[in-house]
Chain A
């Protein structure tokens, strides 16, 4: 894990002091509300429906027990005893008081954390594969590159006032677990023809009201060229991106309107000019960073105790993924307990996760973009003990990748932008299918729910996407089908007219029944089935002809 050096520590403290001063200047009126707004956003502080919300950065989703315990402490000391893990692998606290925020930031700095650039029109927290360092299929750990980008983008003087937010993700395997192609820039670590290390670069992805899949701008970029190349992309975007309309201001619109070929020319020209300005210091820094991401001291293989009980077996089958070592597993702890708020964890649960990481799992934790917590390095012999302790804390739900493992934005329960509720829809879907006992029968299924057009719940890339809108004061939920957020990214297709709050869960049930009817066999997953048969059977299930409807009634 990356440890702050003196510079990082001083920098973060400096920013806390600066924010403390900015709050004071807002309170004495020398900063206007309009001026304070982007400043507080760049420090992670939002104003929500009922209160401020503080979004804390978890760079590339990596935590250790010390950091997790401090988050639990913050939840208890300054909030209501819980936090919400987000799709950008951050954590949000929903009830802080403005006057306490500088103290919270100081408490974060105590454990090498901060809330810098978790919001605002700047380069946001950099995300990575949540299985980084543990997955068998990765070329190298993507986190050193992500950390280099974190440092480069932090307080970047040229790119602190962009037209819109800017998100970067880094992966290092063929299989994409980080929704790479929905990012403004996606960086994939690859090897060149002579096995030399480099990056494949994607640009112009994004969800929101105009979802776009990122396009490849460079098939191979030598490792040392990453920062000048990214600076070139950002400079073209900052100068030429639209500023006349907030909804057209993301780089995806610029890339789309310019055309990827012309956009690439602009970037490559700029890059040739910029390259000589970079003297290679960043590569020395990268090597130093790599030194702090060495793999843990893995233990030798030891016998696994017998698995007694169907609950444990089911949890292992569903929540434990293959590790690059056979006698290790990657444990995903579900924050999607049936009927719970997706992504929420209480301070007690956070402390338990910290304890488990420290006692059994080389003191590492990850936040996944699917709003779960990952223990990336777990010797399989400890799985029974971990399961028992999770179970006692209500954290042993065996549903990773299943229909109740739902991504949901906070929606109208918290968010000032929301047009509909998301959380109760997620809760009711999970409860309904749990009640039917169908989760495992249905198999792999990604449902993603957004409570407004901004698409924080990634609904466009859900196998089933749900978008909550407001139609003349009434919640209306639109369904998209066939979305995919992996290396084969596809934006889901709209099924047809929306459904009311009371109709949405039965509608999802009809889609699932149609799938169970038309799949060739239980091996054919929902998304495979959709790709084979297309929209028609699902449309028929969703919108039966009048006659069938009245017969059914």
Chain B
């Protein structure tokens, strides 16, 4: 089962038994249910493409193909800038040292890859109380 980490600790995946739709589900002609959808976001796609449908989305899952591929951090920042207020999940082999940055750019949670979860116990997935330069300087 996928491990979900938020700023408050570790939990299971409450979306596990529901579908995650493809990024282009809104315009590829497929039948979609009425309730809020989960949508997969490959990190090379354009966030602005989703803008007309943001209010139909309950969860966006941004893919991190590798922990060192940081495009997802800008995808999250961009989605928030474009007005997305739903849940935002980072999914991939992120390490606990990246949780702080993930939450800062607008992610609500990280879906930890099983390979990483097996090595990194819950105690590692903590965000210190330390203020960041960003809090002080920018937005």
Contact = CB atoms under 8 A, between A and B. Distances in A.
B101 A157 contact: yes
B75 A239 contact: yes
Interface stretch (B18-26, B52-60, B62-70): B62-70
B81 interface: yes
A148 B68 CA distance: 26
Interface in A279-315: 279, 281-282, 285
Mostly helix, strand, loop or mixed at chain B's interface?
Answer: helix
Interface in A1-29: 7, 10-11, 14, 18, 22, 25, 29
- The 9 tightest CB contacts between A and B, nearest first, are A161-B70, A157-B101, A157-B104, A238-B74, A277-B139, A14-B130, A151-B133, A158-B73, A282-B137
Interface in A303-340: none
Contacts of A239: 71, 74-75, 78
Interface stretch (B8-16, B27-35, B119-127): B119-127
A212 B108 CA distance: 40
A160 B119 contact: no
Interface residues of A, number: 42
A282 B138 contact: yes
B128 A14 contact: yes
Given A152-B137, A278-B138, A279-B139, A30 B124 contact: yes
Of the candidates B71, B105, B138, the one having the most CB atoms from chain A within 10 angstroms of its own CB is B138
B95 interface: yes
Interface in A502-536: none
Interface stretch (A32-40, A203-211, A385-393): A32-40
A39 B94 CA distance: 13
Contacts of B132: 11, 155, 157
A161 B100 CA distance: 13
A279 B11 CA distance: 36
Contacts of A243: 69, 71
A546 to B, nearest CB: 53
Given A30-B121, A32-B119, A243-B71, A157 B139 contact: no
B77 A278 contact: no
Contact of B69 (A151, A157, A161, A231): A161
Contact of B77 (A7, A158, A282): A158
Contacts of A154: 133
Interface in A218-276: 227, 231, 235, 238-239, 243, 273-274
A237 B138 CA distance: 19
Given A30-B119, A158-B74, A38 B68 contact: yes
Contact of B101 (A10, A160, A231): A160
A471 interface: no
A73 B56 CA distance: 61
A277 B120 CA distance: 36
B71 A238 contact: yes
Given A30-B120, A239-B78, A285 B137 contact: yes
Given A10-B130, A32-B119, A154-B133, A162 B70 contact: yes
A414 interface: no
